[in-house]
Each structure stands twice: as structure tokens, then as C-alpha cells.
């Protein structure tokens, strides 16, 4: 049942957490953290009902287990997020922010795991590998686990990459919705005079083209689709599709590569996104 609760956590942390709630934590942390945890409680209750429906296990003991798990996870979630918020105020820098993000998600995962397995955490994954870990899961559980991978590959990875890439964002000229392409060439004209002499005219022509860029969210959406397709290709064992995907994405931004700052940002972002997609794709391929 724990995988259903983990799916509820991912939905609550990445898909059902509005920006207003995130920004409001700085002014009224207790109130907005309470609202955030309340969303998680509702999602976990729904996940619990779905899990019991799938397994036809509407028993009192299961209800009590679910209730205890929801209570424990909710309290721990509040404490973890509150601690992360306090550390965010003291730890600056991209590396620290990225580490806090990963630590936060790892602690949430361990909380859910421990809530269902007690303090005796299973070591099957470490002893026998990922394929053995997923062996014995029902089809419904595998579908939910695959859904978790897709949430991590899209919304989760997008949040992480925003943190990692925030210090190397292109300058304001590229952020404000307009980017510029410059070109400079020299023209030489030779005129022949009546007295047999020549007149050489050298002209330097500089052109600047201004293009209105795509909306800010388009880049995030493209990245999400890219990682989602990478996971699908890995599940279907179609590794050759990764090359086609990289070529297609590069072609869409070809002209902007003349801007050095953008090309560096694009390369780092694309490689980071691809690495995350491939790693999650490997996990997804082991599920089935």
C-alpha cells in the first residue's frame, strides 16, 4: 500500500502545490504549511481508499493501519518542510538549495516507507537489485510505481533543474521574451574610371534581428515532454530514439546557438535533463 501513499505525496508536492502556497510560507509559514499538509492528508485518504478497493481489503485493521500511517506521515511531513524552510533561510547557493531539495524528498520517501514497514527496513533492493525489489508486485502497484516515475521525470525534475540552473540563466535580454541575432558582413565594390583607374568602396553591413521568444513556461514543458519520452523509450527498449529526440530539440533552437551564453545554458540544461530522464527510465524499465 505504501506506493499509493508515495504517489499521493508526489502529487501533493509537485502537482497540487500552487505557487501562492509556496510563496506564502515566507510570510505565514504555519498557516501555509498547514494548508499544504492538509492537501497531502486528503490525497493520502484517497490513495488509501483506492488501494483498499484494488486489493478488496476493506477491513478494520487496514483502516486503522491507514489512519495511523496518515497521521504519522502528516506530522513528519510538516516537521520536514518546516525544517527545510528554516534551512533555506540560512543556506544560500545553488549547491545547498539542490542538496536540500534532494534531502527533503529522500526524508519524505523514508517516512512513508517506515510508516508501513516499521523500523526494520527491507534490504531486498540493496541485496538483489531493483528487478528483485519489484518482483511480486501486483499489476496495479506497478502501474502506480510507473506513474510515480513519470511525475518525478516531469514535475519533480523540472523543480530540481530550476534550482540547479538558476545561476546560469541567460541575461535579461533573453529572459524578457525577446532575443537578438546579429550578423556582420563586408561588401567590396570596385568601379572602373574612364582614365583606367579603379575606385574601391568597402562597406560593412551589420544586421540585427529581434525575435519574440516563446513564453517562459514553454521551456519547462518541452523539458517535461523530453524526459517523459526518454522514460518511454527506456521502458520499450528503444534507446535509438534518444538520438532522434536530441536532434529534434537541437533543431528547434538552432538559430539561438549563435548566442554563447544561451548555448552554454542550453547544453548544461539538456544534458542534465537527459541524465535524469535516463536514470528514471532505467528504474521504470526494472518495474516491468
Could you tell me which residues come within 8 angstroms of residue 87 by beta carbon, excluding any fewer than 6 positions away? 100
Nearest Cα to Cα of residue 179 among 207, 214, 206, 205? 214
Bridge partners of 178, per DSSP, are 212
Q: What is the pLDDT of residue 121?
A: 41
- Looking at per-residue confidence, does 262 or 86 come out higher? 86
Residue 246 above 90 pLDDT? no
Residue 62 above 90 pLDDT? no
The answer to whether 75 and 34 have CB atoms below 8 angstroms apart is no
Residue 99 above 70 pLDDT? yes
Residue 109 above 80 pLDDT? yes
Q: How far from each other are the two terminal CA atoms of the chain, in whole angstroms? A: 18
The answer to whether 41 and 33 have CB atoms below 8 angstroms apart is no
Please provide the average confidence, as pLDDT, over all residues in the chain.
80
Whole-model pTM?
Answer: 0.77
Residue 180 above 60 pLDDT? no
Q: What is the pLDDT of residue 171?
A: 55
Highest mean pLDDT among 62-71, 100-109, 168-177, 182-191: 100-109
Average pLDDT over residues 213-241: 84
Q: How confident is the model at residue 115 (pLDDT cuts 50, 70, 90)?
A: confident
Q: What is the pLDDT of residue 209?
A: 57
The answer to whether 168 and 260 have CB atoms below 8 angstroms apart is no
Alpha-carbon gap, residue 8 to 147, rounded angstroms = 11
For residue 80, the SS3 value is: helix
Residue 131 above 60 pLDDT? no
Q: Which of 63-67, 123-127, 183-187, 274-278 has the lowest mean pLDDT?
A: 123-127
Alpha-carbon gap, residue 110 to 106, rounded angstroms = 6
Residue 21 above 90 pLDDT? no
Q: Report how far apart, in Å, the C-alpha atoms of 50 and of each of 45, 53, 66, 179 are.
A: 9, 5, 12, 49
Highest mean pLDDT among 38-47, 159-168, 242-251: 38-47
Bridge partners of 191, per DSSP, are 199
Q: What is the pLDDT of residue 102?
A: 95
Q: How confident is the model at residue 124 (pLDDT cuts 50, 70, 90)?
A: very low
Residues in the chain: 288
Q: Can you state the percent helix, strand and coil of the chain, rounding each to 5?
A: 75, 10, 15
Amino acid at each position: 500500500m505504501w506506493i499509493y501513499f508515495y504517489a499521493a505525496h508526489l502529487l501533493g508536492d509537485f502537482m497540487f502545490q500552487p505557487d501562492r502556497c509556496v510563496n506564502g510560507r515566507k510570510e505565514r509559514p504555519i498557516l501555509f504549511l498547514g494548508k499544504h499538509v492538509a492537501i497531502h492528508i486528503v490525497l493520502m485518504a484517497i490513495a488509501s481508499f483506492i488501494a483498499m478497493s484494488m486489493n478488496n481489503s476493506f477491513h478494520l485493521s487496514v483502516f486503522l493501519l491507514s489512519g495511523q500511517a496518515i497521521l504519522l506521515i502528516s506530522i513528519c511531513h510538516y516537521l520536514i518542510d518546516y525544517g527545510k524552510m528554516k534551512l533555506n533561510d540560512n543556506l544560500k547557493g545553488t549547491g545547498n538549495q539542490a542538496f536540500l531539495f534532494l534531502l527533503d524528498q529522500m526524508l519524505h520517501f523514508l517516512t512513508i516507507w517506515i510508516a508501513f514497514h516499521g523500523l526494520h527496513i527491507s534490504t531486498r533492493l540493496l541485496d538483489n537489485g531493483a528487478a528483485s525489489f519489484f518482483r511480486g508486485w501486483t499489476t496495479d502497484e506497478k502501474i502506480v510505481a510507473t506513474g510515480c516515475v513519470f511525475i518525478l521525470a516531469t514535475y519533480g525534475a523540472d523543480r530540481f533543474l530550476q534550482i540547479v540552473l538558476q545561476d546560469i540563466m541567460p541575461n535579461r535580454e533573453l529572459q524578457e521574451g525577446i532575443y537578438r541575432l546579429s550578423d556582420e558582413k563586408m561588401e567590396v565594390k570596385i568601379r572602373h574610371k574612364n582614365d583606367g583607374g579603379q575606385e574601391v568602396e568597402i562597406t560593412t553591413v551589420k544586421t540585427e534581428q529581434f525575435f519574440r521568444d516563446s513564453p517562459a513556461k514553454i521551456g519547462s514543458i518541452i523539458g517535461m515532454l523530453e524526459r517523459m519520452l526518454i522514460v518511454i523509450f527506456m521502458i520499450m527498449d528503444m534507446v535509438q530514439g534518444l538520438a532522434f529526440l536530441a536532434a529534434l530539440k537541437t533543431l528547434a533552437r538552432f538559430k539561438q546557438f549563435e548566442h554563447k551564453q544561451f548555448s552554454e545554458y542550453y547544453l548544461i540544461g539538456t544534458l542534465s535533463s537527459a541524465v535524469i530522464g535516463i536514470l528514471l527510465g532505467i528504474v521504470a524499465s526494472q518495474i516491468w
